[in-house]
Amino acid sequence: MWQAWTIGVLGVWLFIAAFLPFSPMGVLWDDLVVGVIVAITGFAIIKSKSWQGWTAGLLGIWLMIAAFMPSLQAHAGNLWNGIIVGILLMVAGFGALARKEQHAASHTG
């Protein structure tokens, strides 16, 4: 369950980070779109649907890739925000998938 709340809070953080004064326009839209999707996905995981875990994990990978795109780099803060939030999203998203699989296996055995 911690994964759902972690992903939801990270989505809210990305939405807020988009409006920080050091973000270029590309980061603003990237953080807004990814933040909204991640927040909705995270809080929806509470209902234990596997697509939300995949979505959060894959968006975490995207954030890490986007952190190294020259057009999205304005400051080191953008780079580290993308890397740290991306890693946390991958761990929480794919961790939610593993938790769901363990839960399903324990009920079928």
Domain ranges, ordered by start, for the chain:
2-108
Q: pLDDT grade, residue 56 (50/70/90)?
A: confident
Q: Residues 6 or more apart from 61 whose CB is under 8 A from it? A: 86, 90
Confidence of residue 33 (pLDDT cuts 50, 70, 90): confident
Question: What's at 55, amino acid-wise?
Answer: T
Q: How many angstroms separate the CA atoms of 42 and 71, rounded?
A: 28
Could you tell me the pLDDT band of residue 99, with boundaries at 50, 70 and 90? low
Give the chain's mean pLDDT. 76
Residues 6+ apart with CB under 8 A from 18: 27, 28, 29, 30, 31, 32, 35
